[in-house]
Chains A and B, each alone.
Chain A
Amino acid sequence: DAKTTQPTSMDCAEGRAANLPCNHSTISGNEYVYWYRQIHSQGPQYIIHGLKNNETNEMASLIITEDRKSSTLILPHATLRDTAVYYCIVRSYSSASKIIFGSGTRLSIRP
């Protein structure tokens, strides 16, 4: 699975949009971009995933560049409960595909 690069930490004001970048320049054509987040001492929570089109669900939006070498997770109206470590992961479409976690981005939401 391809490696990803994320900023170590970010902060965002409550109520504003939080934009979390991720670089995955070595992504292969059959690899998806997944985002998970982990609130302190809890299990990772699935947020969203995509292949090449932008995706949106009730939690967030995922914007993938046309060359697929980078992506941005957008939390449209950040709240204090969004404070967490956010992991960007690329993995192939395979039911046997393990998840390789990096260090993630520690997002702090300030009041």
Chain B
Amino acid sequence: DAGVTQSPTHLIKTRGQQVTLRCSPKSGHDTVSWYQQALGQGPQFIFQYYEEEERQRGNFPDRFSGHQFPNYSSELNVNALLLGDSALYLCASSRGLRDRGNTDTQYFGPGTRLTVL
């Protein structure tokens, strides 16, 4: 049973560039959440996708956008990169709104380390 996968593992970009990060959810999961973790801090919620729509969003600017595909995989896009966007970006998957029989435990991927120079 494949867990949550993310690509790439590491990425280096320069200020002003755009980046796309990818996530494939755990088998059987249809909801994807994205988190940003700056060095030395806990992860912060960016947004969540279910049924190809953004369902909930944290306190992040519009430079951060996402997409979910019919196969439940997801992308996180960040435009006009700033030095402060350097962080570990985490994807978590869970079973979505249709599943009322269980708590929606979120399972995390290994993350993508983004460095902005």
Contact = CB atoms under 8 A, between A and B. Distances in A.
Interface in B71-113: 88, 90, 92, 94-97, 99, 103-111, 113
Contacts of A25: none
Contacts, number: 64
Given A43-B90, A44-B108, A46-B107, A96 B48 contact: yes
Given A44-B43, A44-B90, A103-B42, A98 B33 contact: yes
Nearest to B41: A103
Given A44-B90, A102-B42, A104-B42, A95 B108 contact: no
A13 B41 CA distance: 26
A104 B43 CA distance: 11
Secondary structure type dominating chain A contacts: loop
B18 to A, nearest CB: 24
B102 to A, nearest CB: 9
B50 A98 contact: no
B55 interface: yes
B20 interface: no
Contacts of B41: 103
Contacts of B111: 41-43
6 contacts: A44-B108, A46-B107, A93-B104, A96-B50, A99-B92, A103-B42
Interface of B: 4, 31, 33, 35, 41-45, 48, 50, 55-56, 58, 88, 90, 92, 94-97, 99, 103-111, 113
The 10 A-B residue pairs with the shortest CB-CB distance in the complex, in nearest-first order: A101-B42, A43-B108, A98-B45, A95-B104, A95-B97, A44-B108, A43-B110, A43-B111, A101-B43, A95-B96
Interface of A: 32, 34, 36, 41-46, 49, 87, 93-104
Given A32-B103, A98-B45, A98-B58, 13 more contacts: A36-B108, A41-B113, A43-B92, A43-B109, A44-B108, A46-B105, A46-B107, A49-B103, A95-B31, A95-B95, A95-B104, A98-B48, A101-B35
